Amino acid sequence: MRILVPGNGASDLRYDLVIVGGGIIGLGAARDAALRGLRVALVEKEDYGWGTSNRATRLAHGGLRYLEMYDFGLVREDLRERERLFRNAPHLVKPLPFLVPLYNQSLFNRLKLRAGMVLYDALSYDKSLPNHRHLNPQETLALEPGLRPEGLQGSFRYFDGQITFTERLNVENAIAAREAGATLYNHSRATGLLRQGDAVCGVIAEDTITGERRELRARLVLNAAGPWLDDIGAMTGRMGTLSRRTKGVHLVMPKVGDTAVVLYAKSDVRLFVVVPWNGYSLVGTTDTDYTGSLDRIAAEPEDIRYLLSEVRRAYPNEPWDPIYFTWAGVRSLMHIEGIPESDVSRKHLLYDHLEKDGIPGLLSIIGGKLTAYRWVAEDVVDTVCRILKHPGKSRTADLPLPGGMLSDLERYVAVHTEAQAARLNVPPELIAHLIRTYGARYSQVLDFAVEDRALFAPVSPHSPDIMAQVVHAVENEGARTVSDVVLRRLTSGMSAGRGREGAEAVAALLAQRFAWDHEQVQAELNALDEQIALGSAPPLTEPSPPVALTAG
C-alpha cells in the first residue's frame, strides 16, 4: 500500500480536517484524527519529517533542565510519553545512560542538582529505567575516560531514551495515518487557503513534482507547519507573528564514549550534550534566534566554533576531528521577546483563529517537543473534535506504531534472525539489521527480495541496506525522490558518507519505477548532492580559540 495518492485532477476533495505540515506533530495528528474516524488529508511541501523533526538531538527525554524553570507539568508529560515510546516503538527508541559531571561546584549547587535528580525520578515514577546514581570521580572517569579530570567532583548518572533514526519515527507515523484512512500528499506545497467569506474552508496545494493543483476542502484546517507556521497564517491576511524561530546545530564526529554526557558551556553556561549515536558522537545543540531562509538552513562557522571550543574544553585529549557532517534545524517556539532563546518555553500552544482573529476554520499549533509529539497530537485533535462535535476518543496512547508490535526487541531479534537467515541463505546480520530498522514489519522488505533475489544486493559496499529496502520505500513508504530514499528511508543516509556511494544504484532503480529519463536521474542526484552539501561543515577561516585546561 502506498502512502502517495496519485493525483486525479479533482478540485473538490472534501475532508473533515486538512493538516498543513508533515513533521512529527502534523503526522501524529493525522494518525490520531484518522483513528477517531475523521476524514483527514495532510500536505507537506517536502517529505515527511524533512524539517525540524529530523534535525533534533534525537532524544526521548523529560527535559532535566526544565526543572530549573519549575515546569514540572511539562517534565511529567514528557516522561510519561517517553515510556509510551519505549512500549509502542521498541525498535526505534532505546534506553540511553547519561552523565552529569560536577566541576568545582559549591555544596549548595551539588545539593540542588541532587534534589533535581530525586525529583526527576519521582516525576517518572512509572518508568522502566533505573533511578539515578551518584558516582565519585574515579567511577565517572572509568565510564568516560576522555573527560577533563581537573576539578572533577564526581557525577550523577541517570537514564533517558534515544530515537536513533527520527526519520523512521516520522515514516511510521505516516504509514499508520494512511492505514487509518488519512490521505497524505508529500512534495505538495500549500499555496493558499480556500475561503468562504472570513472562514477558512480548505487548502490549495501544488504538487512540486508533477505540478498538479489540488483544492482540498475541509471543515477545519490545522496549521502544523512548524517554522513555516507564520507563512501559512499570513495567507489569512490578518495574522501577526505567532512563533519565535531559533536555530539548533549539531556536529557528527568520531565517537568518544558510550554514555551521553550533559555539559555546561564555559562561555555562556548553556547546556549542551555529547551523545553516542549510530557509531559516532553527536555534539549539540546551539539555540540562537534565526531569521534566514527556512529552505537552506546550515551550520555557520560561528556555530561550529562555539561547539568545538566547548567540547574540546570538556574532552581536552580528544582530537575532535573530522566533522563528518552537521545538521541544522529551526524550532518554532511561542513568540516571547525579551528573554534568552533557551529560556523560551517548550510547551505547545493551540491558537484558535476564530477566537483571536475572527477567522473561523483555522487552528495553528505552536511549539511542542519531539518526545511528547503523540500527546501534543492528542491534545490538538481533542480540540478539533470539540469544534467539529465529533465524539471520537484518542486511541494512540497504547497503540504500537506499525513496526512496534513486539514486546522485547532483543528477544525478537534472537528468535527470528537465525531461522530467517537459514531459510533465505543470507547473513544473519542482514535479518537483524532489517528487524532493528522496521521492527515487526521487516518481512515486508524480505518479501520484495524473495520475489526478486537481485534485491538482496547491498545498496553499497559500505552499507547494511539492501535494494529491497529501496523498493519498499517507494511502494509502502511514500518515497518519491532519491533524496527521500537515501536520506529519510535508508539508514545509510545517516552514515559519514550520507549514503552518496549508493545513490546511483538507488536512482537507477527509481528510474525504472518512475520511468525517469537520464536528465531526470541526473537532476535527482544533483538535488541529493545539494542537500548533502548543506550538512557539510563550513571551513573555519580562523582557528578555534585555545582551550584553557584550568578547572572551572
The pLDDT value recorded for residue 547 is: 41
Which residues, 6+ apart, have CB-to-CB distance to 385 below 8 Å?
36, 38, 391, 392
Query: Rounded mean pLDDT of the chain?
Result: 92
Q: Where are the beta strands (DSSP E) in 127-182?
A: 133-135, 152-163
Residue 550 CA to residue 552 CA, distance in Å, equals 7
Closest alpha carbon to 204 in 227, 185, 224, 228: 185
- Residue whose C-alpha cell is 562561555: 267
Closest alpha carbon to 511 in 503, 520, 502: 520
CB atoms within 10 A of CB 369: 25
Which residues, 6+ apart, have CB-to-CB distance to 122 below 8 Å?
none
The pLDDT value recorded for residue 374 is: 98
The pLDDT value recorded for residue 66 is: 80
> How many alpha carbons fall within 13 Å on the CB side of residue 471?
19
The pLDDT value recorded for residue 540 is: 76
CB atoms within 10 A of CB 322: 11
Closest alpha carbon to 316 in 545, 105, 548: 548
The pLDDT value recorded for residue 64 is: 81
Domains and CATH numbers, the chain: 13-52+167-242+346-388 (3.50.50.60), 90-161+244-343 (3.30.9.10), 409-534 (1.10.8.870)
Q: Where are the beta strands (DSSP E) in 313-430?
A: 325-334, 349-352, 362-366
Q: Is the overall model pTM greater than 0.75, yes or no? A: yes
Contact 144, 99 (CB under 8 A): yes
Alpha carbon 47 to its chain centroid, in Å, reads 12
Contact 404, 91 (CB under 8 A): yes
- DSSP three-state, residue 442: helix
- What residues in the chain have per-residue pLDDT under 70? 1-13, 239, 335-346, 541-552
The pLDDT value recorded for residue 12 is: 53
- Measured between its terminal Cα atoms, the distance across the chain in Å is 57
The pLDDT value recorded for residue 232 is: 95
Q: Hey, CA dihedral for 470, 475, 476, 482, is it positive or negative?
A: positive
